[in-house]
């Protein structure tokens, strides 16, 4: 079976040259599938593996727009519709200078299995642009979003492909994108985008969902050892939506988050993060972490090294891919870290994952631990379809139940395939079998 898997991986590398993040994501999943295929050989029939690693559709387009100085700018837009076996393509849009085809493919591939784990009947996709909204005026962001949606609108719809936000795409961008979609289509299809404002089809808890879900998953892992987050120090990377609400939920569960970061450095606040101040700086003022330090006695800004140098019992990487490398993992382990739950997509390098698993700590990959965001997006779609709106308590209870189910599915799959406690294998095996069974049912399409 290992030979079958290796052949598929070699084909992926040959067909997608230079797309290292995509190669990394495929490698992790395929490596987990050898015991699955050994037990169920039919999953290797009819080129099922070859089909699952190939996107159903890839769209790349030009995005011209005019900046405030009257100059024409040109960016590149992407939408990778990876797999629709379980439902309409579902996955965020990322606006960041690092975006390229390989980044979007890796994110879309991860999304297939993440979405499958939620059991919410949604397929996997991802999109975005190399546009950087940071430092741009609201008018510039609006003009870019309108140009981007002018092309994207041809390819999406409530029953076809439902984008959401990701890095660089928050409530402001979703609003501009939806306004242009509505104008172009002459139809109020509220379910075409998720992460919308509460006044026009958004769901309560959607803003909090990814961060909340990551912490809930960590709590579930600790419960298997008879422990909880109560009293534990938590190191968090990032300071965007995921990090902020991971900090909030960790505090609610009695933990003490002491760090957060952005591209300028990281903050250490030994007294515990002042959540209200962090929200003011990041969500209202769109400021930098240094602005937090200037107003918070006792907090300090570190511009050298990495957030993982700070001793903590729990680590929540919530920034971006490959932010936690082998050296960072070694430092965390040396300082007594016992739990890592990924709030970002693929934030740990293969070397870091190997170190965590060799040490036997509780480690949860992003496709399981950060699935709360897309799960709540699917709940938003459900509310839009029924033209209804649930209370915060109802939506949070559903999110809590979904995260518990994802955790239990990962545990059960890891045990079934002979690796108890291996959340990487558990997540990949559980997600893969759900998608593969439906692909087989649908025939060779």
CB 247 within 8 A of CB 260: yes
HSE-up of residue 300 (Cα within 13 Å, Cβ side): 7
CB 273 within 8 A of CB 260: yes
CA dihedral 162, 21, 207, 88 (to 10 degrees): 20
* Phi, psi angle pair for 325, to nearest 5°: -100, -175
- Establish whether 367 is an annotated binding residue: no
> For residue 38, is it left (φ>0), alpha (ψ between -120 and 50) or beta?
alpha
- Establish whether 90 is an annotated binding residue: yes
| Rounded-to-integer distance, Cα 177 and Cα 212, Å | 26
- Establish whether 111 is an annotated binding residue: yes
Question: Which DSSP symbol is given to 284?
Answer: I
Q: Which residue intervals of 89-170 are DSSP H helices?
A: 101-118, 138-152
- Establish whether 241 is an annotated binding residue: yes
- Establish whether 322 is an annotated binding residue: no
Tokens representing 23 are 């190669």
Question: Which DSSP symbol is given to 18?
Answer: T
Of the candidates 126, 182, 196, 367, the residue annotated as catalytic is: 126
- Establish whether 114 is an annotated binding residue: yes
> For residue 71, is it left (φ>0), alpha (ψ between -120 and 50) or beta?
beta
105 is catalytic: no
- Establish whether 331 is an annotated binding residue: no
Which residues carry out catalysis? Answer: 126
Which residues line the annotated binding site? Answer: 90, 111, 114, 165, 210, 241, 377
Feature table: binding site for NAD(+): 210, 241
Annotated binding site for substrate: 90, 111, 114, 165, 377
């Amino acid at each position: 079976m290992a030979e079958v898997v290796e052949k598929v991986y070699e084909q992926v590398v040959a067909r997608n040259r230079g797309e290292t993040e995509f190669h990394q994501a495929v490698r992790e999943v395929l490596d987990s599938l050898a015991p699955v295929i050994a037990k169920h050989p039919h999953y290797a029939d009819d080129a099922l593996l070859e089909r699952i690693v190939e996107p159903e559709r890839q769209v790349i387009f030009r995005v011209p727009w005019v900046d405030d100085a009257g100059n024409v700018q040109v960016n590149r837009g992407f939408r990778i519709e990876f797999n629709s076996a379980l439902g309409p393509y579902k996955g965020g849009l990322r606006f960041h200078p690092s975006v390229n085809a390989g980044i979007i493919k890796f994110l879309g591939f991860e999304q297939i299995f993440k979405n499958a784990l939620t059991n919410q009947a949604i397929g996997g996709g991802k999109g975005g642009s190399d546009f950087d909204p940071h430092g741009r005026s609201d008018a510039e962001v609006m003009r870019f979003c309108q140009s981007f949606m002018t092309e994207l609108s041809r390819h999406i719809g409530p029953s076809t492909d439902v984008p959401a936000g990701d890095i660089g795409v928050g409530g402001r961008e979703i609003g501009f994108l939806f306004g242009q979609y509505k104008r172009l289509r002459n139809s109020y299809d509220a379910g075409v985008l998720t992460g919308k404002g509460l006044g026009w089809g958004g769901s309560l808890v959607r803003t909090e969902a990814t961060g909340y879900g990551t912490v809930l998953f960590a709590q579930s892992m600790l419960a298997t050892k008879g422990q909880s987050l109560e009293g534990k120090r938590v190191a968090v990377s990032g300071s965007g939506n995921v990090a902020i609400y991971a900090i909030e939920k960790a505090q609610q569960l009695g933990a003490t988050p002491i760090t957060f970061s952005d591209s300028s450095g990281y903050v250490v606040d030994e007294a515990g993060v002042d959540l209200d101040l962090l929200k003011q700086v990041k969500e209202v003022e769109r400021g930098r972490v240094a602005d937090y330090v200037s107003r918070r006695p006792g907090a300090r800004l570190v511009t050298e090294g990495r957030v993982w140098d700070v001793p903590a019992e729990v680590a929540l990487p919530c920034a971006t891919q490959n932010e936690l490398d082998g050296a960072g993992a070694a430092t965390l382990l040396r300082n007594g870290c016992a739990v890592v739950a990924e709030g970002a997509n693929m934030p740990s390098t293969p070397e870091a994952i190997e170190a965590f698993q060799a040490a036997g700590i509780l480690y949860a990959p992003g496709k399981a631990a950060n699935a709360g965001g897309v799960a709540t997006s699917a709940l938003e779609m459900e509310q839009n379809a029924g033209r209804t709106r649930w209370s915060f308590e109802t939506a949070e209870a559903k999110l809590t139940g979904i995260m518990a189910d994802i955790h239990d599915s990962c545990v059960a799959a890891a045990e079934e395939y002979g690796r108890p406690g291996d959340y990487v294998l558990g997540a990949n095996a559980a997600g893969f079998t759900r998608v593969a069974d439906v692909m087989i049912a649908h025939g060779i399409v």
